[in-house]
């Protein structure tokens, strides 16, 4: 049966990079490798401009009715003066909450062709392949109570709450263990169990849940050490699983090990396997409309979508191989350009991936 994809191009470079991802989906569809129907809707600043709401009810309904959502990026200076509740980013948060997307998968994979793009020595990062599994709907970003008050003394007092139910820890650990079973079977759970009681419980639940996965080699690391190890010897990691805030920080660090945020996809999944797929970068207003953005992170997000939500792992493998082939051919967008390579624009890069897929 045909699977439904909701396409949300968003703002800035969003429409440009999503157009290239759609070319790839169309090419796979034309040869019968996948069976999908695509519908488009508005989110972010584009939606605000259209109807005054960064997440119109119709967009959320369409997202709920789809098997997967493909998102470009949202945001831009134009909408920064708006109240928080109307900002483009609220559209993203609303989609995450509305779809119950509790598991954020952020791979940090370095194509060997781009080893020189990293700020780290190429022997430290070449062959890097880490999957960071970040809890996305709990922890300190959502915990109550939260706020800023003025004390009787006149001093301001700000507070947030780090809290997790054990069921929330168990389900994110299961996602990490399931993914590790398809990779190197090693999981490092990152916490701050020496200081924070809630993450001491996190560690206990990680261990208890691992009893169902006898083949998984589970290790634990404090977050301060994990951040150090990520830049010291990142290849020691296979899958990392951690809280919302620790994952937010560590995944950005891991992303930069690879040199360009224009290359990295992400997935956010709910309990039913429904997911939202997007590049990790933002809407890059500084280069929007110039046809120079790197579409590969979005194209690789399509590969994740096919693998994790649409049960089309073979097509996903082919997209990843096509991207590798295009890099072998020496084609580079400006963000990953290096000496001796041929610089291409967004559309030419997308066309090259499609040609490599067909070859």
* Virtual torsion, Cα 246, 249, 253, 256, nearest 10 deg: 140
Residues 329-348, one symbol each (x = binds ligand NAD by CB under 6 A, - = not), give: ----x-x-------------
Helices 346-358 and 14-30: crossing angle in degrees, nearest 10, is 20
Selected binder of ligand NAD within 261, 337, 347, 355 (CB under 6 A): 261
Query: Scanning residues 272 to 291, which ones bind ligand NAD (CB under 6 A)?
Result: 278, 281-287
- Part of the chain binding ligand NAD (CB under 6 A), chosen from 70-78, 134-142, 198-206, 207-215: 70-78
Residues 134-163, one symbol each (x = binds ligand NAD by CB under 6 A, - = not), give: ------------------------------
Residues 6+ apart with CB under 8 A from 336: 114, 117, 259, 260, 262, 263, 294
- Part of the chain binding ligand NAD (CB under 6 A), chosen from 67-75, 96-104, 238-246, 304-312: 67-75
- 178 appears as a binding residue in the annotation: no
Selected binder of ligand NAD within 33, 40, 82, 89 (CB under 6 A): 89
Query: Cα–Cα distance between 1 and 312 in angstroms, integer?
Result: 13
Three-class SS of 84-153: HHHCHHHHHHHHHHHHCCCEEEEEEECCHHHHHHCCCCHHHHCCCEEEEEEECCCHHHCCCCCEEEECCC
Residue 89 · residue 74 · CB < 8 Å: yes
Q: How far is the CB of 106 from ligand NAD (least distance, A)?
A: 12
Which entry of 252, 311, 325, 351 is annotated as an active-site residue?
252
Residue 302 binds ligand NAD (CB under 6 A): no
Active site residue 252: yes
Nearest to 308 by CA among 209, 179, 160, 188: 179
Residues 238-257, one symbol each (x = binds ligand NAD by CB under 6 A, - = not), give: --------------------
Residue 241 · residue 190 · CB < 8 Å: yes
State yes or no: cis peptide before 145, omega within 30 of 0. yes
Nearest to 184 by CA among 146, 128, 227: 128
Active site residue 248: yes
Q: How far is the CB of 243 from ligand NAD (least distance, A)?
A: 19
Annotated active-site positions, please? 141, 192, 224, 248, 252
Task: Catalog residues that contact ligand NAD under the rule CB under 6 A.
Answer: 13, 17, 73-76, 89, 92, 261-262, 278, 281-287, 293-294, 297, 333, 335
Binding-site residue numbers for Mg(2+) are: 224, 248, 252
Which residues are annotated binding-site positions for substrate?
A: 96, 106, 134, 224
């Amino acid at each position: 049966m045909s699977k439904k994809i909701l396409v949300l191009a968003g703002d800035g470079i969003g429409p440009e990079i999503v157009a290239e991802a759609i070319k790839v989906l169309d090419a796979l569809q034309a040869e019968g490798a996948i069976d999908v129907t695509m519908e488009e809707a508005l989110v972010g600043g584009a939606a605000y401009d259209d109807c005054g709401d960064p997440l119109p009810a119709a967009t959320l309904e369409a997202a709920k009715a789809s098997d997967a959502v493909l998102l470009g990026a949202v945001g831009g200076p134009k909408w920064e003066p708006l109240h928080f509740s109307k900002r483009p980013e609220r559209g993203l948060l609303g989609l995450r909450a509305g779809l119950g997307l509790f598991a954020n998968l952020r791979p940090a994979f370095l194509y060997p062709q781009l080893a020189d793009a990293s700020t780290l020595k190429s022997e430290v990062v070449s062959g890097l392949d880490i999957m960071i599994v970040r809890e996305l709907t709990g922890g300190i970003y959502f915990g109550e109570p939260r706020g800023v008050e003025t004390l009787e003394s006149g001093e301001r007092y700000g507070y947030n709450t780090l809290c997790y139910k054990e069921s929330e820890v168990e389900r994110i650990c299961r996602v990490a263990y399931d993914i590790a079973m398809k990779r190197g079977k090693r999981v490092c759970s990152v916490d701050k169990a020496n200081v924070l009681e809630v993450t001491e419980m996190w560690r206990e639940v990680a261990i208890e849940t691992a009893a169902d996965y006898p083949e998984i080699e589970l290790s634990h690391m404090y977050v301060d050490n994990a951040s150090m190890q990520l830049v010291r010897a990142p290849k020691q990691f296979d899958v990392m699983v951690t809280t919302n805030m620790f994952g937010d920080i560590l995944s950005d660090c891991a992303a930069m090990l690879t040199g360009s945020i224009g290359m990295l996809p992400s997935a956010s999944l709910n309990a039913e396997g429904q997911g939202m797929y997007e590049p990790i970068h933002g809407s890059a207003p500084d280069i929007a409309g110039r046809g120079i953005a790197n579409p590969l992170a979005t194209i690789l997000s399509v590969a994740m979508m096919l693998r994790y939500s649409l049960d089309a792992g073979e097509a996903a493998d082919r997209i990843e191989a096509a991207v590798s082939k295009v890099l072998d051919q020496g084609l580079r967008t400006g963000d990953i350009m290096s000496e001796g390579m041929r610089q291409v624009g967004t559309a030419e890069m997308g066309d090259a991936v499609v040609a490599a897929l067909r070859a």
